[in-house]
Amino acid sequence: MNVAKCSIVVVNWNAGKQLLECIQSIVDYNNALVTQVVVVDNGSSDGSMKLVEGLRDTPFPLRLVYNDKNLGFGAACNRGATLAESEYVLFLNPDAKLLSGSLGGPLTFMEETANVDVGVVGVQLLDEQGKVARSCARFPTLGMFASQILAIDRLPGMGNFGLHMSEWEHDTTQTVDHVIGAFFLIRRSLFVRVGGFDERFFVYLEDLDLSLRVHQSNFRAVYLANAQAFHAGGGTSRQVKARRLFYSLRSRLYYGFKHFSALQSWILLAITLLIEPLTRSFLAVFRRSASDLFNTWCAYGMLLRDLPRILREARER
């Protein structure tokens, strides 16, 4: 069987040397399965793109796209995908790296006749300690979001009620609701059919929203345990804690208003605004972390200021 090839899209925002390491891993482990790599820069200021500009004689065309400002992860992915030419598109985080077999196994799997209904594939992701990350997730419900807000999912034995499939060791291949966007291989025709990433999600949950629309189009997402890649985790979002929390809260509201009933959406908004600041503040005080307390209230300040726009855009379901 002739293995299909893929285009790889990498979105960069101040990823530093991680970006170069990511691209170098594609050079090392492309196995002639990559038709092109598109790097979309979201207005970085750390010189990370200059490191990549210096690459010469890559075994695939390397296209660099520059945005004047940070358009968000989903918007940058969409821009990169418009330049993709292969049957498959791999969205790869800049803090991820390919390993031997990262591409061949997933592409062969998706080409098998029995897997024509597989729209998305993810692989086993190894963290900085070499451990397998618990990277898959369930489609969120109001109850799952509420368990996060009330910190119920952190209690012993309550992992099954949470969004993340942390109770599963990720040691078997199986169909799942969602594979993490750090290594997200999708059929290009399907990506176009479902409309790509929803650009209202600046960052966080944009990949899960896409997975749900893939599922609604009668395609499956499969996690492959026999293929691996590296993922540091956290990425450049580690750099901006208050803003990271703001985007996380905002994306959750967008997701709720897009996919939940009207009643559930307003309940989610109420507990996000009225209960969660208190639970987060309590946990920060309990941990004696003044920075967590400060970042919590900074994030909620940003959320309240942005709330009119969130509610206006939420009507665009």
Which of the listed residues 237, 261, 292 is the one where a domain comes to its end?
237
Same domain, 304 and 210: no
Q: Which residue stretches of the chain have pLDDT < 50?
A: 237-238
> Can you give the pLDDT at residue 237?
47
Same domain, 44 and 117: yes
Q: Is residue 154 part of a domain?
A: no
Range of the domain at 52: 6-135+170-237
Same domain, 306 and 198: no
Which of the listed residues 237, 269, 288 is the one where a domain comes to its end?
237
Same domain, 178 and 214: yes
Q: Is residue 150 part of a domain?
A: no
Q: What is the DSSP string of the chain?
A: -PPP-EEEEEEESS-THHHHHHHHHHHHH-TT-EEEEEEEEES--SSHHHHHHT--S-SS-EEEEEESS---HHHHHHHHHTT--SSEEEEE-TTEEE-TTTTHHHHHHHHSGGGTTEEEEEEEEE-TTSPBP---BPPP-HHHHHHHHTTGGGSTT-GGGSSB-TTS-S-S-EEESB--TTEEEEEHHHHHHTTS--TT-SSSSHHHHHHHHHHHTT-EEEEEEEEEEEE-SSGGGGG-HHHHHHHHHHHHHHHHHHHS-HHHHHHHHHHHHHTHHHHHHHHHHHTT-HHHHHHHHHHHHHHHHHHHHHHHHHT--
Same domain, 204 and 258: no
* CATH code of the domain in which 37 resides: 3.90.550.10
How many structural domains does the chain have?
Answer: 2
Same domain, 109 and 192: yes
Which of the listed residues 237, 259, 290 is the one where a domain comes to its end?
237
Same domain, 193 and 121: yes
> Can you give the pLDDT at residue 2?
63
> Can you give the pLDDT at residue 159?
60
